[in-house]
Structure 1
Amino acid sequence: MYEPIRTKSVHSMTAGTTTDFPHRSREEELDIQLAGHLAALLAVTDELRALSPSADLDTAAERLAEQVTRLRDGRTPVRATGAAPGGPDAASRHRRAHALAGRALVVAASRADTAAAILAAQQMDTHAAALEPRELAPR
Structure 2
Amino acid sequence: MYEPIRTKSVHTMADPSDHPHRSREEELDIQLAGHLSALLAVTDELELTGPAERIAAQVARLRGTPPVRHAAHSRADARALHRRAHALAGRALVVAASRADTSAVVLAAGRMDAHAAVLNGPRRVGAH
* TM-score scaled by length of structure 2: 0.84
The 1-side partners of 2:57 and 2:104 are apart by 10
User: Counterpart of 1:119?
Assistant: 107
User: Counterpart of 2:41?
Assistant: 43
Root mean square deviation of aligned Cα: 1.9
Gaps of 5+ in 1: 1-5, 50-56
- Cα offset, 1:82, TM superposition: 3.2
Deviations 1:33-70 (A, max 9, x none): 00000000000000000xxxxxxx21111100000000
The 1-side partners of 2:59 and 2:9 are apart by 42
* TM-score scaled by length of structure 1: 0.77
The 2-side partners of 1:89 and 1:116 are apart by 27
Deviations 1:3-35 (A, max 9, x none): xxx7331xx438xx4332100000000000000
Gaps of 5+ in 2: 1-7, 124-128
- Where does structure 1 differ by over 4 angstroms across 4 or more consecutive aligned residues? none
The 1-side partners of 2:52 and 2:17 are apart by 40
Q: Which amino acid aligns with 1:66?
A: A
Q: How many residues align?
A: 117
User: Counterpart of 2:86?
Assistant: 98
Q: Which amino acid aligns with 2:33?
A: A
